[in-house]
Every structure is written in C-alpha cells, then in structure tokens.
Amino acid sequence: MKRILAIDDDLFAREFYRYLLEAEGWVVETAPNGEEGLARFREGGFDLVILGLFVHGLDGPGLVRELDPEVSGIPLVAIFDTDAPGAADPLHLALTLGADRAFPKSFDYRDLVEAVRELLAGAAAAA
C-alpha cells in the first residue's frame, strides 16, 4: 500500500488531503509544520510527499532542501498560496526547488488525485 506524507500548517488542508487520498486507497500521514514533517519523512517508508510550500517553522523551501527529492527519489507535490507574502512567483519557486508538480491552494481536487496517481505509477516503474 502506498504511503503519502502531507505537510501543511492548515488543519483543514491536511484533513482534506487525508480524506481525498485515503478514498483512493492510499495511506496518508500528516504533519502540521516543517520540523515534524522532516522528522516523519526521515522515519522512512513514504512513496510521495505533499508539501504546503509556506508552512511554519522550517518553511517549504528549507524543507525541500532537506528532503532533497532528487536524491531521495520520492515524488514531491507542492501546494502554494497565490497571495503568500514574500513570494513573487510561488509556482516558479516550487518547480525550481524540485517539486514534481505544483498547485495553487484553489486547485481542482481531481487534478491532485491524478497527479498523485501518475507520480506514484512513475516512481513504481522507475524502481
């Protein structure tokens, strides 16, 4: 069974990701901030990470550098607020940092499910 880690400081968003993705048959664990997300990630066993790009504590860019998706080989989906302070172009930032996909918080849930499905299938094929 595929395991997904969802890191977001927004409780509603975390629970939405859990509900949405567990309905597809995946196991979803959540973390409310960057530090806890990094600790859970380092426990291992995750097949994909969903990250709120501007989480509190260890922020998204710092966390992405720590996760280092290119080294870990685990797909990363970044979720961002389009009006986040200090981010002129959060989509560009997410992709520059190494996210495999990036969505604004106003995404269509079907697009997220499809992206997760594609990334998990691609990771399985590469293994």
- Per-residue tens of pLDDT for the chain, all 127 residues: 999 999 998 999 999 999 999 999 999 999 999 889 889 998 989 999 999 887 776 666 777 777 775 557 889 999 987 765 555 677 777 777 778 999 988 889 999 999 999 999 987 777 6
Q: In this predicted structure, what is the pLDDT of residue 27? A: 98
**Residue for token digits 């998204």?**
60
Q: In this predicted structure, what is the pLDDT of residue 127? A: 64
Q: In this predicted structure, what is the pLDDT of residue 93? A: 74
Q: In this predicted structure, what is the pLDDT of residue 64? A: 73
Q: In this predicted structure, what is the pLDDT of residue 84? A: 58
Taking a C-beta distance cutoff of 8 angstroms, is the pair 110, 24 a contact?
Answer: no
Neighbours of 98 (CB within 10 A): 15
Q: In this predicted structure, what is the pLDDT of residue 87? A: 55
Tell me the two tokens of residue 116.
């997760």
Q: In this predicted structure, what is the pLDDT of residue 58? A: 64
* Domain extents in the chain: 3-126
Q: In this predicted structure, what is the pLDDT of residue 17? A: 96
CA end-to-end distance (rounded Å), the chain: 15
In the CATH scheme, what is the code of domain 3-126? 3.40.50.2300
